[in-house]
Amino acid sequence: MHLLIPFAGTVSEAGRQALATLALPRLDRLLAGLQPAQRLGTDAFSLNPPHEQALAAALGWAHGADDALPFAARQAAALGLDAGQPWALLTPVHLHVGTEQVSLTPPAALQLDEAGSQAVLAAVRALFESEGFTLHFAAPLQWLATHPLFDGLATASLDRVTGHNVDPWLPDHRSARLLRRLQNEVQMLLYTHALNDAREAAGLPTVNSVWFSGCGRLPAATAAAGPRIDDRLRAAALNEDWAAWTEAWRALDAGPIAELAALADAGQPFELTLCGERFAQRFAPAPRSLWQRLTGRRQSAAAIAVLETL
């Protein structure tokens, strides 16, 4: 078993203050018997957040901080589509225009159901098909597109952009100019569209753009199964709701972390990867010394100190 936890740490000052108030006794105990293994990441400004780098590594892909990570092709394969083609994830989003910047609202805030998402997709489909793109519906907040342009195209993960100014994350290389133009055309098309009039009347954010991510072809050597990913910290972290984030951490400690502790007690193999905004740290069980085996004692480890390094 390999448990991967995204957003386990944060660079937010408010988030770090909330982290300091946490008590995670099961994680403390678990880490006391683990040793650090692979560490990935650089800083909070790479295209790929550490949890995506860690997932790519577990799948056997190249997993650099700014590599193209073909998560769209993996999803296409799961849906029975031709993963040998270059794919991208398209996420319908709301861009909030402020006085000094344009920021990307957490997509879940759209409350977009399947019918609404299909309607938006139908509205923009012709823009993409006229340029040789093929679009597929996968989920309300996840469409798939295939086009030669996506072959090896590195773009910023949606998790990097959500809640932030989009300008530093927009692809600026020549091969992505078509994507920038299509984003602009989508915004103009949806600005006065009847479906957004209906959303505004219902008090919902408008769908006014799309975000491209997860581009590329599926590598032939992709592992059949990846780690178990527990995403319960994501929404709270992206919304900067640190009270909800600490509550989710307590639930993690009482649930999946306790399960790993039981595996450790039984001498069963497992791995744990904790991911923040800068680094992902994988842990594996450490060999116990003769003294530890005789006494049952292990050196204590402070979970909070580990999470602060992420």
What is the tens place of the pLDDT at every residue in 207-257? 999 999 999 999 988 888 889 999 999 999 999 999 999 999 999 999 999
Question: Cα dihedral angle (237, 238, 239, 241), rounded to 10 degrees?
Answer: 10
Q: What pTM was estimated for this model as a whole?
A: 0.91
Tens digits of per-residue pLDDT, 251-284? 999 999 999 999 999 999 999 999 999 999 999 9
Nearest-5° Cα angle at 210, 208 to 216:
175
The pLDDT value given to residue 131: 95
Give the percent of the chain with pLDDT over 90. Answer: 84
What's the average model confidence in pLDDT over 78-97? 94
CA-CA-CA-CA torsion sign (182, 125, 192, 113):
negative
Q: List CB contacts of 159: < 8 A, sequence separation 6 or more.
A: 6, 49, 51, 52, 234, 238
Residue 298 has pLDDT above 90, yes or no: no
Helices (H) and strands (E) in the chain, counts: 13, 11
* Pure H helices in the chain: 13-20, 25-32, 50-59, 71-78, 114-129, 158-161, 177-191, 194-201, 234-238, 242-254, 256-265, 290-295, 303-308
Q: Helix, strand or coil for residue 97?
A: strand
The span from the CA of 186 to the CA of 51, in Å, is 30
What's the average model confidence in pLDDT over 180-200? 92
Asked if residues 144 and 91 have their Cβ atoms less than 8 Å apart, the reply is: no
- Tell me how crowded residue 101 is: count the other CB atoms within 10 A of its CB: 12
Supply 37's token pair: 């293994």
